[in-house]
Structure 1
């Protein structure tokens, strides 16, 4: 199936089409979210495409779980959003998922007409493990000569396989946060079975010593999320390298369930932060 023959479903002001895209080696299931011509909170913007990588701790790829958020993202920004699966760890560990992520960006850049955008601004984005893939795909796009990216959006991203941050050690002491931290640790064990890979910048963006040449970033953490400090540390490294970065800490999200991060990002405030950042890209470019 190609984008031209996808099955489209319209709901909540957004058209959702299922399609198949090309990963590094295999075909990947994906969904294309297209806002109506006049979404309630934003103009229709054919100049930007957001490529979104869902969460799942590298062991699942949760397109269904993230669906309500991605619908809201398309509506509030007015941008098309392409959300895709990737190779999970039990099929093939690192670097399969990140190679898929970079391949998807290249695929999107080559298929502008089929996706219905003009190719001017490509944005990589993701949540949790998907945030790792978004950050890494930006590194890879810089290192491999493209595609050019307008921005990266990292939502509570997994950036440190060492799990060494203060928030990972202290917030994860009890309750739902402990379960969330355990999910991260288990995901990394499957994704990075070779210890040597845990310091590779394409597995641990926080380990990268070269931040120059990366696109502007929006990085959202949460006050009681074990991943909070690594997200903020990554933002600090970008800022120190002269990269424009907006780094914000969200209110507590009460991590009572493994999918709490998915529930958190559905909140209107998160979408508004992203919409403001995306809208500000045009202003920053013209300044």
Structure 2
């Protein structure tokens, strides 16, 4: 943050409608504690954090915790709907592609996945705006409102994730199909449905859960560009504004938020993996 262009003190003074002079810069820098060495500034911030003082936004002049609290709901809303789309599409496409390897359906799914991975997110967002908001006028272009406002940002956000996750699920299923127990099940005449559910999905569940969990963090932290394009008032847009204005207190609390969310998602993932894989539960019980 210290190496980023711009002076946060100047931005602070502009937001306060105070004339920028050498004297006001020096006095404000001292009042904000920005004249001290970086390690001292950090320790002061940690000390205030432990006391429940998260700081005040330089640009908005309100407690940063209030700004983050307001932005969390729109981001969670966008992330939840995007994750539901991901959950309902990627596993199905990956399984269909894998069990129909080298078929016309497989080639179509792979072609769509390659396209989804290759298309830049910002370009996709603008194309969707031009088609559905400007030309057809059937969807709103920006802002937060009803469910219709979620459609374009959700599609833009989730498209590369669906494509990437479909590839990974297809790969995991194909690896399981080569295992001896799956081949034996097919030879024994086990129905295709039972082979997919009892043998392929069960054994491919761990990498699938891991991939989906990692996508949750991307949906929460990787939505900066999407929220900027669609003027979505969430964490991503707030973070982008904070970086542009050099709003240190706001940047710091948001980085802390991203870190805490990462730890929470990782812990939930580990719990789910242990629940799915009995071997891991047995190892934990025996200590081996």
Greater fraction helix: 2
TM-score of the alignment, normalized to the shorter chain, above 0.5: no
> For the superposition of Structure 1 and Structure 2, which TM-score range results when normalised by the shorter chain?
under 0.3
TM-score, normalising length from structure 2?
A: 0.24
Tell me which of the two structures has the higher relative contact order, counting C-alpha pairs closer than 8 angstroms and 6 or more residues apart.
2
- Which structure has the larger Rg? 2
TM-score, normalising length from structure 1?
A: 0.24
